[in-house]
Amino acid sequence: MGTIVAVTGNEACAQALKQINPDVCAAYPITPATDLMQRFSSFVNDGKVDTELVLVESEHSAMSACIGAAAAGGRVATATSSQGLALMWEMLHIAAGTRLPIVMPLVNRALSAPLNIHGDHSDGMGARDTGWIQLYSENAQEAYDNTVQAFRIAEHLDIRLPAMVCMDGFIVSHSIERVEYIDDGDVKKFVGKFKTVHPLLDLDNPKSYGPLILTDMYHEYKRAQHEVMTKVPGVVLDVAADFEKMTGRKYSLFETYRLDDAEMAIVVMSSAAGTTKDIIDQYRDRGVKIGLLKPRMFRPFPFQEIADALNHVKAIAVLDRADSFGSYGPLFSEITGAVMSMKSKPAVINKIFGLGGRDYLPVQAEQVIDELIQVAETGKVEAIKEYIGVRE
């Protein structure tokens, strides 16, 4: 069952798209996602998929074409990064508000200025309020697995929302790792046949997409959109359970590592979680009770579940690979939102790290844990938000 390969994150996601064989992909190249769609376009060229590949003149057009194709009644995918996602911005809201289950690997990259092509979460975090489901991946295996699962989640008849599958630019997208591919037939069976909802191409039942809705009903449509998001966690867990049956690989709304008996926790997403786990092991060997929580689903954000998982710790460090200038890091704001509902109010600190692809080094994780030990002992927080790994 399955095939073990040595591939990059981009290659793995392209493979997932090949196995799913979407009806339409509209894409525009942007580093570091270029290579993903380039590989996929080879599959199209070589007749390995039946996908209609639409080569457009910008990401705005890419998402517009995806919206059109999804409204027409197709299974649709694309991929992008950074400025490309930024250029899609208005269309992202339209895809979500129109409830179109488009799946989009997002290879996370910093936003300009200054111009930078390397990995951080500024792009994904900037799109957190667009109404898309967001899954973040630690490595190539997770990026591949999340892509396969994203189709089932997005297309679920109770959901019908677009989904982004995020992975760190270059660190994951361009590094070769061991990945276990699922057999083609199993992927096909897992995602199932695409079911249409109100397809425009059903010419016997003409309909209109994108109406003007003003003060009389807009508020109600947004209320309904909020309601749909509340159903997403249940579907994500159901899909994960089926996925585990097929592959043995376990997924949830978030991952915990040595957290059950921990007195302190680090919350961090994506590739930096791997490094952090190694350092946690070293501190555990010295008897320090530290654990990790790695959110997988950032939108919708599982506040209650995360609050339950962190309820017993005294101090939390939230590591953000993006900044909300003039505020805290975006992940920190969510975690403190979760802390609100806890009886025990742990101290929470925020570290901004790794912007523009700056390496997240073991020594940074060590500094954070050393500070957490102090905070847990004294209950005192010197600075809530701080940049780490800054050249001084």
Partner 1 sequence: MSKKYWETLPQGSVVLEAGSSAKFKTGGWRSMRPKWIEENCIQCMFCWMYCPDMSVKVTAEGKRAEFDYDYCKGCGICALECPGKKGKKAIVMEEEGK
Segment contacting partner 1 (CB under 8 A): 221-229, 276-284, 305-313, 330-338? 221-229
At which residue do the structure tokens 């927080």 appear? 381
How far apart CA 71 and CA 199 sit, in angstroms, is 6
Under the binding rule (CB under 8 A), the answer on residue 220 touching partner 1 is yes
Nearer to partner 1, 160 or 277 (CB): 160
User: Within 10 A of 210 (CB to CB), how many other CB atoms are there?
Assistant: 10
Under the binding rule (CB under 8 A), the answer on residue 208 touching partner 1 is yes
Residue 221 C-beta: closest distance to partner 1, Å: 6
Under the binding rule (CB under 8 A), the answer on residue 201 touching partner 1 is no
Under the binding rule (CB under 8 A), the answer on residue 224 touching partner 1 is yes
Nearer to partner 1, 90 or 220 (CB): 220
Quote the distance between the C-alpha of residue 266 and its chain's center: 19
Under the binding rule (CB under 8 A), the answer on residue 198 touching partner 1 is yes
Residue 200 C-beta: closest distance to partner 1, Å: 9
Nearer to partner 1, 185 or 206 (CB): 206
Asked if 107 and 81 count as a contact pair (C-beta separation under 8 A), the reply is yes
Residue 195 C-beta: closest distance to partner 1, Å: 13
Hey, what are 60's tokens? 């705005």
Under the binding rule (CB under 8 A), the answer on residue 377 touching partner 1 is no
CA distances for 184 relative to 20, 21, 190, 191, 293, angstroms? 8, 10, 10, 11, 32
**DSSP 8-state secondary structure symbol assigned to residue 80:** B
Under the binding rule (CB under 8 A), the answer on residue 100 touching partner 1 is yes
Report the run of H or E that residue 123 belongs to, with start and end.
helix 122-126
**Footprint on residues 136-175 left by partner 1 (CB under 8 A):** 160
x/- string (CB under 8 A) for partner 1, residues 39-78? Answer: ----------------------------------------
Handedness of CA 43, 45, 46, 51 (dihedral sign): positive
CA atoms within 13 A on the CB side of 20: 32
Under the binding rule (CB under 8 A), the answer on residue 215 touching partner 1 is no
Under the binding rule (CB under 8 A), the answer on residue 118 touching partner 1 is no
Under the binding rule (CB under 8 A), the answer on residue 209 touching partner 1 is yes
CA torsion 356-362-363-368 (nearest 10°) is: 80
Residue 100 C-beta: closest distance to partner 1, Å: 7
How far apart CA 109 and CA 357 sit, in angstroms, is 8
Asked if 256 and 293 count as a contact pair (C-beta separation under 8 A), the reply is yes
Under the binding rule (CB under 8 A), the answer on residue 223 touching partner 1 is yes
Contact residues toward partner 1 (CB under 8 A) are 97-100, 160, 197-198, 205-211, 213, 217, 220-221, 223-224, 227
